[in-house]
């Protein structure tokens, strides 16, 4: 198995565990790019949100909410960013579903939101392309 997150789950690779339940595991990102940068994964191997069943996704989002509320309610953070990339085109780098929680403080100087360059099509065109029937 070459999945780094599955290796963490099996104990083959070490991690800094923040939270664990029957369905999910959360640990600190070893990049150390932002204090408290947490990764939340399902214990079940799924590639991303596009192939994830609804029960697994629900359990992961419950864990994200629990951890995020702990950071804000108990640890004094002012908010969190929750980030996910699903698919190579979306810059997913580890092909095991995962979400990043970035704990935030007011005026911490972190810019976690992408800098978009502007849409090329009108909203009318996009609604016709994107709407779910």
Point out the residues that are catalytic: 98
Residues contacting 50, CB < 8 A, separation 6+ = 86, 87
CA distances from 10 to 13, 15, 45, 50, 78 (A): 8, 11, 12, 24, 34
For 17, list phi and psi in degrees, rounded to 5: -65, 130
Cross-strand partners of 19: 26
Q: Are 101 and 81 in contact (CB under 8 A)?
A: yes
């Amino acid at each position: 198995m070459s999945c780094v997150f599955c290796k963490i789950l099996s104990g083959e690779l070490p991690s800094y565990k923040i939270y664990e339940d029957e369905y999910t595991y959360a640990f600190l990102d070893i990049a150390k790019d932002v204090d408290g940068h947490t990764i939340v994964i399902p214990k079940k191997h799924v590639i991303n949100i596009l192939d994830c069943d609804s029960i697994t996704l629900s359990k992961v989002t419950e864990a994200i909410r629990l951890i995020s509320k702990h950071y804000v309610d108990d640890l004094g953070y002012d908010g969190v960013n929750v980030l996910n990339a699903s698919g190579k085109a979306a810059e997913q780098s580890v092909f095991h579903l995962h979400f990043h929680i970035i704990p935030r403080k007011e005026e911490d100087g972190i810019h976690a939101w992408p800098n978009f360059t502007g849409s090329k099509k009108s909203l009318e065109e996009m609604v016709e392309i994107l709407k779910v029937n």
